[in-house]
Structure 1
């Protein structure tokens, strides 16, 4: 039970692999093709001749030929879309296209139908079907054809937008929103609000170098209860783990076995992931924007779209935190977890876009309007980063713009209250 959540996370990652769904559908196609040989005693004798079940072999031959062509075409289209997304948006977004369930289901359906027809033809040639078995095979073939037709219609609609810039941005937005909603519901991942470890605490360092993808808080709580100490989490999902940087601190001296159990609670991979790392989604959106602002692409419209997307996400984050923070249940009171810092989230987005779009009037205006829109939410956690980034974006525009009317337009879009210094008593919310 101690690793239930961790294995659930690993299983969810496995089911998003393209080969998993294709293998599942392929196995289902093979089982369906062989079902007629097993269930033929259930069909009344003589029914095969009355409904023309003898023609099923010709139908399966046509199905096998067409499904092989459709599968090859679909796979080539998907690979092309992955390359397009990597080139025009960012390579980090291609992972979401690979994990797109509609595309995976379409390809898996075609592979499953191909295997079904091939196995059916082999079984017919081997004469394992009687007349009754052919009836079942014909009924299954009709059902497969209906499924293929529905899947093709959905796939045609998907192809019209698959890999396009707008669709890629939407996929990143959806993934980021899900991660933000999950973190808003559980800002401390089920643990207690963070507090530093006491003097004499023991640091537990990573056993390998990589990005933290998941932290099993349930396991940390079990180890801490059994050992009679508290665990203070020092690295959230998305942190780059290296030797010398603690993953967690134990409040008292612990043995090597306990330290090893704590390390097992951390899933470390080669790259950041979207599921439990809301900031990564913001980073990927920012990469899309700054690539669009590069001289080779010169697409400020996409950058403006990304800025609007970020405003939607941060607005939802603010509402989610305000609505649920008082209702948060502390399930694991012996594990102290830091919350996401809104200041870090702002740093992930606005400085790079302000830097690369500093000389563009439309980008400067949109940035100031976006920051003003976030200020209207009245979230006190946003106040300091909003002021800092509004002034920073304006300073970059002043340094880069040589045309006075453009600079005046950016200044006019800035909200005066955001350009003022914050009171000295204000401090960032540490969560």
Structure 2
């Protein structure tokens, strides 16, 4: 843009298109453009100085994970209704299967709600954003609310499938579990023999505690079912899934390092104290797994006793 501006300005000056006032105005605008160019260059230099750093990458992933979890807390079923495990579908339910292989990136629940109201159906989704699907895998079930559907089955299937976006990779926006998985992968790579950086893994564990703490916050007034999406049923996320995504890989890859085991154990104790009603059972399960792995991988009895002593401090 600045190049084109300068080129046009030079041509205009050469042709004598500007008078005295025009030259003054052109000079003032040129000063402003120069200031914008200098500001942009400085900002870009600052961006390049941080680009690729582990800390900067972790910051971005943590922010994305917290944003996704906060959004899911407000809309636990993406605006739809709860699809409980004890809910049984009628034999007349129509199963819609995937025509693609990849990850579910987005589900337009509001569009599904409009379709469900239009053709008088209920939609029961078997997938969430982040689910890996393959051709022929059941995605959802369609249940007619009347004797007959307001449109033919093929048309309803095409409309419903159009509301699901399936791609080759997972995304952060609608997939809280993906952010936790990426944080865990960063810690696992830091713990690999090639990198051998337990400090980064310990930093990630602290960030994981901060991210998971968001899940323990009470649902705000916005956490409800959208009035137009009551006929759309989705399954919710579970605490066990969130803990498995984050703690399982770190606990496995850092089982031979006492400092990592201690930090994971302290993180689990902290989460159990933050909200026992939500986190206690999952924390107890992962503490038991950590102690079992440590008994196998650690060689010094003193280190094992240290972990067992810390584990006993968890509030029963």
TM (normalized to structure 2)? 0.89
Q: Work out which of the residue numbers 185, 188, 191 in structure 1 matches 2:77.
A: 188
1:95 matched residue in structure 2: none
Q: Please give the residue correspondences for 1:309-320 in structure 2 after superposition, counting only pairs within 5 Å.
A: 309-319=207-217
Where does structure 1 lack aligned partners over 5 or more consecutive residues? 1-28, 30-112, 421-431
Over 3 Å counting, the alpha-carbon distance change for 1:160 and 1:199 in structure 2 is: same
Structure 2 residue 51 is matched with structure 1 residue 162: yes
1:175 matched residue in structure 2: 64
Q: How many residues are aligned here?
A: 305
Aligned partners of 1:318 and 1:379 also within 8 Å:
no
Aligned partners of 1:202 and 1:249 also within 8 Å:
yes
Q: Work out which of the residue numbers 245, 248, 259 in structure 2 matches 1:348.
A: 245
Structure 2 residue 219 is matched with structure 1 residue 330: no
C-alpha distance in structure 2 between counterparts of 1:220 and 1:264, whole Å: 9
Structure 2 residue 67 is matched with structure 1 residue 206: no
Structure 2 residue 18 is matched with structure 1 residue 130: yes
C-alpha distance in structure 1 between counterparts of 2:256 and 2:3, whole Å: 55
Over 3 Å counting, the alpha-carbon distance change for 1:402 and 1:218 in structure 2 is: same
Q: Work out which of the residue numbers 231, 236, 242 in structure 1 matches 2:123.
A: 231
1:153-200 Cα offsets, whole Å, 9 max, x none, are 433443443321111100000011111111111111111111445122
Aligned partners of 1:186 and 1:328 also within 8 Å:
yes
Over 3 Å counting, the alpha-carbon distance change for 1:147 and 1:326 in structure 2 is: closer
Q: Work out which of the residue numbers 283, 287, 298 in structure 1 matches 2:181.
A: 283
The alpha-carbon deviation at position 299 of structure 1 amounts to: 0.2
Greater RCO between the two (CA within 8 Å, min separation 6)? Answer: 2
C-alpha distance in structure 1 between counterparts of 2:221 and 2:248, whole Å: 28
Which structure shows the bigger proportion of residues in helix conformation? 1
Structure 2 residue 145 is matched with structure 1 residue 256: no
Over 3 Å counting, the alpha-carbon distance change for 1:194 and 1:403 in structure 2 is: same
C-alpha distance in structure 1 between counterparts of 2:180 and 2:3, whole Å: 40
Aligned partners of 2:99 and 2:135 also within 8 Å:
yes
SS at structure 2 position matched to 1:344: helix
The alpha-carbon deviation at position 121 of structure 1 amounts to: 4.0
1:300-333 Cα offsets, whole Å, 9 max, x none, are 00000110000000001211xx232795243311
